[in-house]
A = this chain, B = another copy of it.
Amino acid sequence: MTTLYYHPLSNPSLYPVFIAEASGLDYTRKVVNLQTQEQKSDDYLSVNPFGRVPAMVDDDLAIGESSAIGRYLARKSGSDIYSEDMREAALIDQWVEFVVHHIRINVGRINFNRFIAPMVGAEPDQASIDLGLRFLADNLPHIEVALSGDGHLHGDRLTLADIALVAAFEPQHVAKIDISYAPVLSEWLERMRQEPWYQAVHTHFGAELGL
């Protein structure tokens, strides 16, 4: 019995949910209400003492942190979205990490200041938005090159790396992030968002909350 704890506006927490769908795992997903601080409740802290989403419970194994959960789900499923060959696994891991550290973090900077801050009454930080936009522009050319080959970040099939990239860009529209200067990625994201593993979660980012 595998349970995933997530929130539909947390893109790191959507990553393992997409993986569970793409790898055909039998699992249950539970929304953790971040608006009411459910992630700090005693019940949830007994699942994930870090008090964050995502978290996963698989029988007696409980872990937090999105990449660790994603890798475990992929290995458990035996799906070819990851690899048991350590050399190929390293290539996939490299791309997941590139996406998390150089793409997701910068989408997050922009998203926080343009979308989340106004919602929670915080002051948007334009310098942080500008930094995010600049770092995205620095890093997206690597993505354009990689996707121009076989249409995947690694090899010629869907892997954790591609799913990480889709999850990283989940808040693209609500955060009004213009990536028209990266046409290969732009078209690719629209296509990925029509895939069954995406549509099984939601039709678009924020749909669960009526956005």
Contact A68 B86 (CB under 8 A): no
- Knowing A72-B86, A86-B72 touch, does A94 contact B142 (C-beta < 8 A)? no
Distance in Å: Cβ of A60 to nearest Cβ of chain B: 9
**Which chain B positions have C-beta within 8 A of A50?**
98, 142
How far is B93's CA from A98's CA once the two chains are assembled, in angstroms? 16
Contact B76 A63 (CB under 8 A): no
Contact B65 A87 (CB under 8 A): no
- Knowing A87-B61, A101-B65 touch, does A49 contact B142 (C-beta < 8 A)? yes
How far is B93's CA from A50's CA once the two chains are assembled, in angstroms? 15
Report the nearest B residue to A52, measured CB to CB: B102
Distance in Å: Cβ of A88 to nearest Cβ of chain B: 9
**Which chain A residues in 69-95 approach chain B with CB under 8 Å?**
69, 71-72, 75-76, 86-87, 89-91, 93-94
